[in-house]
Each structure stands twice: as structure tokens, then as C-alpha cells.
Structure 1
Amino acid sequence: MILKKTFILVSVSSCFALYFGQEKTIDTVYVFDNQMKKVKLFHSLNTLSPADIQKNSSNLSEVLRFQSSVYIKENGRGAVSSPSFRGTTAQHTAFVWNGININSQFLGQGDINNIALFGYDQVEIKAGGGSVIYGSGAIGGSIHLNNDLSFNQGFKGLFNSEVASFGTYNNFLKASYSNDRFSFKASGNYSISENDYEVPEKKYINRNGKFYNTTFNIGAAYKIAKNQTISWQSQFYDATQNYRILEENGNRTSYEAQTFRSLVSWDIDKSKFSNSLKAAYTEDNFQYFGVYNAPFTSGGINKNYIFKNDFNYFIIPKLNINVIGEFQQNQAEGLGTSELRNASRNVGSAAGLLRYFATSNLRFEAGIKQNFVEDISSPLLYSFSGKWKANNWYQVNLNLSKNFRFPSFNDLYWEPGGNLDLKPETSAQADLNQEFSVLGFKLSLTPYYIKIDNMIRWLPTAMGYWAAFNTEKVESYGLESQLSYEKSFNQNHSVKLIAGYVYTKSVDLETQKQLMYVPLHKFSSNIDYQYKFLRVFAQGMFNGLTYTTSDESRKYAIYPYFIMNAGLSATVLKKYTLGFKVNNITDTVYETVEYYPLPKRNYSINATINF
């Protein structure tokens, strides 16, 4: 793009970025989550490519554990897993698939190890509240699973196969074709693991730990006119997890999950305005088998019908208004011995955002949103962001927001214990991101503060069962920091470094105690080095003291540990890559949930063919 003094904004489909230059339509890539392009103007994101994901190919838990600031609680490798973002709980993290919130309507959260790992073009991690755009649960942060489609790229394909310790096999195939008007992409993944690792120091054997899953993604886009695109993206996921047993002849239990997601979008993009109309259907089914080789004991079906319209208009080149309307119908049914029967609700929302670009280095965004949740009184939400690039080496970004989570179906309708009088959880929060750039290094420092009211907890009652109540007020504050460096030398050498440190203090204001499974300190680092056809990477993660009880008992706490992974790969003829990885090089005994150690040193070999 030729730079000029004329001020102008590139349109939304052109990445909605601010430039000093002439307008130019960039239609090479169609992104399904059009809001992410706007979010990047005001918020820092951690973006992981498919190559980054491949470094931790066991599951999404491993990816987030080593490549983000999120703390992951995993009940053994491949089993039930949940995130803790900025000292909040799993219900305060929103999982977003191509712009659609996919948290379970039963639990109000996502089980990380029952979310597909492969088939995305980017995984993006956003810390901080985002309920104005991404809805219920986006309090601590959000994890975005994004797909895109390119035009004018012809045919491309990739096949990757991996063999790893504990009887693990992982195969992934992706193919795409596009011309100037049509784009198509499909991918499939099959993973299986006997998962029979041992940790002698803990007298732990992961008996009955087998898991396997299959994923199929398909997407297409067609330009029906110069400024109009019709697109479609779908995902099919099928998985089984076996749950660990203590004795060889113990009763073998398991959990099966099936997910279907489909999204259709009609996008209009012109110089002054754009509009994205989306219709989506998502379905999550699960079955729990309490007895081996017998019919399922309990289960559930969750269906969601979603309609969303995103209208964007430039009043003047410096002033932009964005109006988002959404309607959902959520349906759920418990099966077998499940204590939740038929439940449904209608959920609507209207949001407005105003963005002002004072100069190329100074911009502001203010948002407001009202939710309409059937039979639940919803608060008015707001957000404000300001970003200022003071000079070439310093920029600062302020974010303020009010966010919320409405009760899940289990919170409301589980019998016994559901509570129809529950209020939504609300949070007020602020963070101040400062970024320093010197000699190719970038240092980011972000102090933050979150206060959550009406937190929903399940507590024992005098009648002998547990029930849902609005109880706690929680205060979370701390510091996120990241140092990055990237440089190429003589076209033969390149190096990339990312290191992050997080301090998190998350306190129940009634007891003044740290919340369970919130480490005070976490450090992670990733370094990549490439020389011609050889590439080496190394990862390190330090996890600080983590309490597993509400009284801060050190007897039952998880004590600090350090884990290191490394890998080496070689590419021949630009098409064929062979790689080798060692996980937990230090052979550390560690766990993220008490009594569930994760594997000691283990290995994998992988091969990739590009065609």
C-alpha cells in the first residue's frame, strides 16, 4: 500500500485497521469472526498458529498450559480439564468458535479436553472481560477458535502423522482450494491413546485412562457480488474418555461426547458500511457410562439456535458505530438417571459500540449492552478502551468493563439443588497494558483488577443435598507480563522468543483466603530457532504454590514445579518434515489437580507432508 497524508480507514473486510493511505480492498482472506479484527485494535491477544499448536499435540490443555498465562486444572492426561483465567473459575472463561460462544449450557463452562485441538487456523487467547461482544462467561478471559478461508490460492494440502509414548497416535489431514470467487477447506483429525502412564514416586498408575477423538471441519465461501460473500463453516466432533480406576479389577467408567456446530454467514462490505448476518446451530450430546459394557447411566442433549447481526457504519472517517443484535434459543434435556429434565430459554441482546480514531496513534472505543434472558433480570453492561502510542518505543492501553454470567441450566433446574431465584454473576474490572519496544525486544506489563459479585456456588444444605446459591464476592488482582523478541539473520537464521510471567492474587472477600487452584506465580517461555532446513524449539513452565483447599492448607497444596519440553525438526525439498519431541525433559513429578499426576518424561515422532 502506498502511504499518503490523506487519513482514511480501511473497511472491515480489509482487517478494519487504521492506516494513513489510500483505501484498498484486501480480499485475500475471509475471517469468520469479524469482530476479532476490531478487538485487535484495542486489546492485546496471544495468537497461536497451527505450527504452535503442533508443539503440544496431546490436547488443548497442553497448548494452553505451556503457551498462555492460563492455569489448567487437568484430572490426569486427557481427562476432565478446565481453565483459570486471571484468578477466576472455569465458568468465567468463554470459549468462542468463529465468533459464537460455545460454553456448555449445562455447566456454563467448557471442558478443554472435549474441545477439538486441530483444524483451526488460529487459536487466540484474550485476557480480560468481553461480555459486551462475546456474551455470558467472558469475565476472566476468552479463548477463540478461529477459521478463515483464502481466495486466489489454488490447491493446497497437508498431512501430519505422529506416534508418541503411552500408545498415542495422531493423524491430521487438511486440504483447500480457492479461486477469485470460491474458497473451500476441509480437515480431519483422529487421535487415540492408551494413556497408560505411571508415576512410581506417587504410586500412581493411570489405569483405564484410554481416550480417543475424531474431528472433521469443513468450510466454504462464495463471492456472490463484488462486495458480498456467503460463507459456511461446520465442525463435527466425537470423543470418548475413560476415567481412571484405582485397582486393576475396578469398575471401568467412561464418558462419550458428540458435538456438531454449523454457521452460515452473509457479509456485505462497502466503503462506508458493512453488515454480517449469521445463523448458527450448535448441538452437544454426552453420555456417562457408570458400568463397563452396559448402556449409559446418564447423559444430556443441548441444542442452540443462534441468529446474530453485526452492522458497522463510518459516520465520518474518524468515527465508527457498530450495532450488534443477537437472539438465541437454548434447549436441554437430561437422559437416563440425570437429575435435569427438559429445559429451555430464550436469550436476546442488543449492543452498541462507538469507536473514535483521533489520530493514527490515539483511538477510543465505548460500548454498552443489554441482555434479555428469559426469567432472569440482566444488568446493563459497558466497556471502554483507549489506546495511545506515545512514540516508537512506548504505548499504553486502558480497558474498563462490566461483565456477567447468567446461571446455567444445572444451576437453575437440577433436582434437587437447582435454584430458580439465582441472580447473574457480575464483575467490574480494569487493566492497564503498557508496551515498551527497544532494540527488537517488546516488553508488555499489565496490572489488572477484577471484582465479582453474586458468585454462584454449590453448597451443602440441611436437607442432605447440595444446592446452588449466590454467595461469594471475589476480588482478583495481579500482573501479567510478557517479553518477546523476533529476528532473522542473513536469510539463514531466525530466532523467536516469548516469555511470560503472571502474578495472581484471587481472594474470597469473606474469608480473605486465596481461591483454590489459583497459583500465585506462573512463568512460561517458548523459544524457536531455525537454521536453513533445521528448526529447534524449547518450552519451559514454572508453576508456583497452588492451594487445593479453601483454608490455604499447605499440607494439601501443590508445591512449585518446573517443566521443560523440546523438539527438533528437519524439512527436505520444502515439502517433507520429520520431527522429534521430548516432553518433560526434567522428568518432573507434578500435578495440576491433587491426586492426579501428569506424565513424566515422554517422547513423540511426527512427519508432515505439504502438497
Structure 2
Amino acid sequence: MDIKKSLLLIFSAYGCFLSAQEKAIDTVYVFDNQMNKVKLFHKVNTIKPQDFEKNSTNLSELLRFQSQVYIKENGRGAVSSPSFRGTSAGHTAFVWNGININSTFLGQGDVNNIPLFGYDELEVKAGGGSVQYGSSAIGGSIHLNNNLEFNKGFHALLYSEAGSFDTFNNFLKGSFSNDKFSFKVSGNYFISQNDYEVPEKEYINRNGRYYNTSINIGTSYKIAPHQTISWQNQIFDGSQHYPIFTENGNKTKYNAQTLRSLISWDISRNDFSNSLKAAYTEDNFQYFGDIDKPKESGAEGKNYIFRNDFNYFITPKLNVNVIGEFQVNKGLGYQSGIGDISRNMGSVAGLARYFVSQKLRFEAGLKKDFVENISSPVLYSFSGKWEPLKWYHIGSSVSRNFKIPSLNDLYWQKGGNLDLVPETSTNVDMDHEFIFGDFRLTLSPYYMDIKNYIGWLPTSAGYWAAFNTYSVEIYGLDSQITYQKNFGNHNFRVNAGYTYSKSTNKQTGMQMMYVPLHKAFGNIDYRYRFLNVYVQGLFNGLTYTTTDEKRADAIDPYFVLNTGISANLLKHYTLGFKVNNITDTVYQTVSYYPLPKRNYSVYVHINF
């Protein structure tokens, strides 16, 4: 089989192309078709829905225990942001079905205002990816994917959980598909009084209540053997009450609403494919300085996005990919100094892939962004993947990435700065993969140099303002071990990782705030017939919370262990019990906001 047919079969397995015989693939339609090409050159950690249920509290908990990302959470369920490979919150791109959904106001994703349930998979890609996914894809990107299957009939599931601190979580999903039509809908409602206590810290999570509701609707129709029209929607409404430290403290809260709608027209043939997308996203928030009074501030953000992804095999070994995108970002602030603003953005990217053989391939990419009133750099990426031995694969990449100033950085009053320039980074990444039977070990050294770092600093006039400040140098190592083995009725699965991140402010030589030098996570699953048991652990090393590495203010190292057991009954029913933090560890990811000690939950999962 020649390389062209081999690659087309790989692509079709993800639902992007057709096989060499041009027979329609009915398995699944994937909205983020670019990710399938990324996987040919980069290591991607995929988390499936069955693993969501282990850490069902929120997306923060899932990423903390099942990925290399460090999550900073101001108390359970409150404001939360990522630190990926030693970077800050604005250096991680959240991507929903191929569309970058970082807030245009904040320039980052608020992890706990992104729903956890309703996706068919969550993928974590480390390293630079701005050529494919735009601003903020510097430390890495987190992909929230919905897929639509054909010829699968009717399926439904119900997940219902009750836990400590008056926590209730309910998720319902249904789907139907035939040879031409596919439909999927899901809804999730989560509420928690969240009033946990940590006596060792004399801490009660007063006013910690939070709740959220999300709805996902997706549909796809084959208008011709090689053409599909698809529509994906997500609605989220949430409220977070911010913890207070005294019983008579002033109670505040933050409400957030998001709407995302994406229409895609996809053509897939033997030698080429084209995906045309039109998306509308809306991000609104309101801050209440007193939960019983009207809002004190807020904003409404609306984004109109048009994206076309064209892929063509010139020869069986040479593939070209052209991506064009245009956005209109609109924002309207309330009591923030941000008026009625609008920003136009566009980009053109070209990628060429050369497949020397089935074991050696290269990719080169070039991209130019056009951002209104901002001079944007030319971005590039060069990647290669080689499989010299059956048990050893090596990949490497060099890329230039960027982060544009957010609307808050530019327009917030007082403090916004219209003279800001984008942050830029040079990334060097490598993957060394060792495969011995069912055992896989990946070692990924990396290096980043970030310039024009945007930070908010105090001014002589008494307020904080945004500036391009210093440069940051980051180097370290990601590693991951996976193992899966079946022994008759016994199934054993291991997924563990370790990350070392040395992230230095080049001006001071000090480690960046909230970047632990060491983080390790591990998940062990064991199944015997109808019985399932899992154990997961998290180790986090010393974490500085000040710019001068003050040890007294640092977060001490900690180790947290979770476990759970479930039983599959009568094929369609699963009953489970979980114990979180079984070691009763006192720990925090942000100063002054401890996370819960030992807590419990029970759940039922029903398949129809």
C-alpha cells in the first residue's frame, strides 16, 4: 500500500477523509478536523467520557488529576486558571470543536466556567500551536470535542451523583443516527453548597455556593455521499459565590453565560477535503459586590468567526493545507470603562506535509495574522516525526507563537494600554516515545522564550495598568507512561505523568509565580468482570506565590489520593462510590483558599 492510501485510511479513521476506494466512512464526524493532522506529528493526551466521571466536580479537578496542567483554583468551584508548561493562564488556548474560545476580555479561559460534561473527548496538546489555533496557544491547548456518529440508532445515558457539601450532579444525553442523519443532545445541571471546612487552616468555605447548567445540541446531515452539513451548539449559565473569610464578611458573586454555535459544511474526497465553518460565540458576565444588590460591573462579548480549511494531496507524498479565518470581536462593558468596541481580525496559514515513507514525515507551516490596530508577527512551525525502530519513535518541532492583548488589556479604565504589542514565543519541543508491547513511555523535553510579556503593574498615579514587561525563559520535561493489559476477565490500565518546569523571569532570575517545579499525576484502573476499581494520585511540588521566591509565602508540596469503586449490573446499570482525598491532606493551589479534605459521593450511570 502506498503512503497516500495509508494516510487516507488514518484520516478516515477520524472521519475526515474517505478511503482509497472512495467508500463513505459512516463511523463518526469530527468537528475539529485539524486536530487529526496535528496527531500525525505531536503527542496528544486524550481523555474519554468514562474518565470524566472520576473527577466530575468540575473541569479544574479533571485537568488537575488527569493531565500535566497545573490548575490555580481560588477554592473549589471558584475562579480557576491553568499554568501549562510553566506559562501563565493566558498562554493556554481552549479550543471548542476547532474554534478558539478564550475570552476576548480576559485573553484566557476561566476553567470553572467551561462545562465538563457534554463532550465526546477532551484532548490536551502540549507545546506551541498558534499556526493552527491562534492566540494563546503557547504553553499548550485544551480541546473540547463533540463528534457525531452515523448508523448507530438510538442511545441514551443518565449520570446522577450526590456528594459531600450538598453537591448534586445530573447529566442526561441522547442520540439518534441513521445512514444520512445524526442528532445528539445533552444537558447537565450541577449545584453545590460547597461549605467545606479545613480546621487546620481555621478555614470555612463560607459563601462558596456555586451552580451551573449546560446544554449541548449537535446535528449532522449528509447532503451527498461526500458532503456533510453539521451544526453544533452549547449554552452555559453559571453562578459562583466568592468565599469570604469572616462570618459577617461582604458576600459577593459572579455570574457567567456563554453561547456557542457552529455551522460546518464539509466536503471529503479521495485527494482533497474542505471544511467551511461559521461560528457565533457570546460571553457575558456580571459581578455583584453584594449578592442582594444589582450588579456592580459586567460585560457582553460577541464574536463572529468564519474559517475555511482546505486540504489537498498534490502527489501521494505531498499534502498542502490552507487555512483562512476572519473574526469580528465586539465588546460592551458596564462600569468598567470599556465602551462599545469592535475589533476585526483575520489570518492566513499555509502548511505543507511531506511523507517520505510510512515511518518518516515532515510538516512546515507559515501564518500571518491581521489584527486591527495591532502589528502582528509572522508565525511559523516546523515539525517532523520518525519511527526508526519498532520500539522507538522520535518527533520534534520548532515554532513561533503569539498572544494578542485582550480587550481588558487595551480598554479597561483605568489601566488599559493601547500601545501594547503581542507577546511572542519561540518554542522547541521534542517527543521520544518508547514502545514495549502494551507499555509506552514518552519523554518530551521542551524550551520556550516568551517576549513582551503582558503584565499589570502599579503606577505612580495609584492604579494598576497593563504593560509589555519582561521576557520569560522556560525549559523542562514532560513525561507520560501508559500501560494496558487484558488477562482473561482482568483488565489493567495505567496512565501517569511527570512534569518539570523551570520558568524564569529573565529580568530577576526568579521562578514565575504559581509555577511548581514538579508535578506528577497517576491513574490506575482495574476491572474484573462487572467490578471496576480506580486509584488516582497527584503530587505537586513547592510553588512560589510571590515574585521574589519568598519561602514563607510559598505553597508547600502536597500529595492527594482519590479512589472509587463501581459495579456494572444487568448490562445497563452502574452503581459507584468515590472517596476524594482519602489521605485527608490539607492543600491549596492558591494562597488562602484550601481545597476540601476527605469527601465522598455516590452515583448511578444508566445506559438505555
Aligned to 2:373: 375
Amino acid at match of 1:74: E
Paired with 2:293 and 2:15, the residues of 1 have a C-alpha distance of: 54
Report the CA distance shift for 1:174/1:16 in structure 2 as closer, same or farther (over 3 A): closer
| Other structure's SS at 2:65 match | helix
Judge conservation of contact 2:346–2:371 (CA < 8 Å) in 1: yes
Aligned to 1:309: 308
Unpaired stretches in structure 2, ≥5 consecutive residues: none
| Other structure's SS at 2:55 match | coil
Tell me by how many angstroms 1:249 deviates. Answer: 2.2
Paired with 1:427 and 1:537, the residues of 2 have a C-alpha distance of: 39
Judge conservation of contact 2:524–2:535 (CA < 8 Å) in 1: yes
Tell me by how many angstroms 1:578 deviates. Answer: 0.1
Amino acid at match of 2:375: S
Report the CA distance shift for 1:260/1:6 in structure 2 as closer, same or farther (over 3 A): closer
Paired with 2:227 and 2:137, the residues of 1 have a C-alpha distance of: 31
| Other structure's SS at 2:462 match | coil
Paired with 1:13 and 1:324, the residues of 2 have a C-alpha distance of: 20
Tell me by how many angstroms 1:330 deviates. Answer: 0.1
Listed as ranges, the matches of 1:15-164 within 5 Å are: 15=14, 25-164=24-163
Root-mean-square deviation (CA, aligned residues, Å) is 1.5
Aligned to 2:575: 578
Q: How many residues align?
A: 607
Aligned to 2:179: 180
Paired with 1:4 and 1:129, the residues of 2 have a C-alpha distance of: 31
Listed as ranges, the matches of 1:266-345 within 5 Å are: 266-335=265-334, 337-345=335-343
Aligned to 1:264: 263
| Other structure's SS at 1:338 match | coil
1:351 to 315, 325, 349: 349
Greater Cα shift, 147-156 or 291-300 = 291-300
Aligned to 2:424: 426
| Other structure's SS at 1:201 match | helix
Amino acid at match of 1:465: Y
Paired with 1:343 and 1:246, the residues of 2 have a C-alpha distance of: 37
Judge conservation of contact 1:74–1:80 (CA < 8 Å) in 2: yes
Amino acid at match of 1:245: I
Report the CA distance shift for 1:324/1:19 in structure 2 as closer, same or farther (over 3 A): closer
Aligned to 2:364: 366
| Other structure's SS at 2:474 match | strand
Tell me by how many angstroms 1:15 deviates. Answer: 3.0
Paired with 2:239 and 2:445, the residues of 1 have a C-alpha distance of: 40
Report the CA distance shift for 1:38/1:110 in structure 2 as closer, same or farther (over 3 A): same
| Other structure's SS at 1:30 match | strand
1:402 to 396, 400, 403: 400
| Other structure's SS at 1:77 match | coil
Listed one character per residue, the Cα deviations across residues 344-390 of structure 1 (whole Å, up to 9, x for unaligned) are 10000000000111100111110000000000000000001100011
Paired with 1:116 and 1:73, the residues of 2 have a C-alpha distance of: 17
Paired with 2:482 and 2:16, the residues of 1 have a C-alpha distance of: 23
Listed one character per residue, the Cα deviations across residues 14-45 of structure 1 (whole Å, up to 9, x for unaligned) are 53899998665423100011111111111111
Paired with 2:73 and 2:475, the residues of 1 have a C-alpha distance of: 24
Tell me by how many angstroms 1:4 deviates. Answer: 8.1
Listed one character per residue, the Cα deviations across residues 323-357 of structure 1 (whole Å, up to 9, x for unaligned) are 0000000000111x222222210000000000111
Q: Give identity over the alignment, percent.
A: 66
Paired with 1:530 and 1:264, the residues of 2 have a C-alpha distance of: 40
2:527 to 521, 525, 530: 530
Tell me by how many angstroms 1:206 deviates. Answer: 0.2
Paired with 1:22 and 1:147, the residues of 2 have a C-alpha distance of: 27
Tell me by how many angstroms 1:540 deviates. Answer: 0.5
Paired with 1:440 and 1:65, the residues of 2 have a C-alpha distance of: 25
Tell me by how many angstroms 1:199 deviates. Answer: 0.1
Listed one character per residue, the Cα deviations across residues 471-502 of structure 1 (whole Å, up to 9, x for unaligned) are 11000000011111101111x11110011111
Listed one character per residue, the Cα deviations across residues 560-598 of structure 1 (whole Å, up to 9, x for unaligned) are 110000000000121000000000000000000011000
Listed one character per residue, the Cα deviations across residues 429-466 of structure 1 (whole Å, up to 9, x for unaligned) are 10110001124211110100000000001111111111
1:414 to 412, 415, 418: 412
Paired with 1:289 and 1:102, the residues of 2 have a C-alpha distance of: 24
| Other structure's SS at 2:380 match | strand
| Other structure's SS at 2:552 match | coil
Aligned to 1:223: 222
Report the CA distance shift for 1:130/1:224 in structure 2 as closer, same or farther (over 3 A): same
Paired with 1:86 and 1:393, the residues of 2 have a C-alpha distance of: 27
Aligned to 2:540: 543
Paired with 2:111 and 2:524, the residues of 1 have a C-alpha distance of: 25
Paired with 1:150 and 1:606, the residues of 2 have a C-alpha distance of: 27
| Other structure's SS at 1:514 match | coil
Is 1:443 aligned to residue 420 of structure 2?
A: no
Aligned to 2:382: 384
Amino acid at match of 2:320: I
- With normalisation by structure 2, the TM-score equals 0.98
2:501 to 501, 504, 507: 504
Tell me by how many angstroms 1:142 deviates. Answer: 0.4
Greater Cα shift, 10-19 or 294-303 = 10-19
Judge conservation of contact 1:8–1:18 (CA < 8 Å) in 2: no
Aligned to 2:240: 241
Paired with 1:7 and 1:61, the residues of 2 have a C-alpha distance of: 41
- With normalisation by structure 1, the TM-score equals 0.97
Paired with 1:364 and 1:461, the residues of 2 have a C-alpha distance of: 48
| Other structure's SS at 1:180 match | coil
- Structure 1 runs (4+) deviating above 6 angstroms are 3-6, 16-23
Tell me by how many angstroms 1:416 deviates. Answer: 1.5
| Other structure's SS at 1:326 match | strand
Greater Cα shift, 246-255 or 356-365 = 246-255
Paired with 1:424 and 1:534, the residues of 2 have a C-alpha distance of: 52
Aligned to 2:514: 517
Judge conservation of contact 1:119–1:217 (CA < 8 Å) in 2: yes
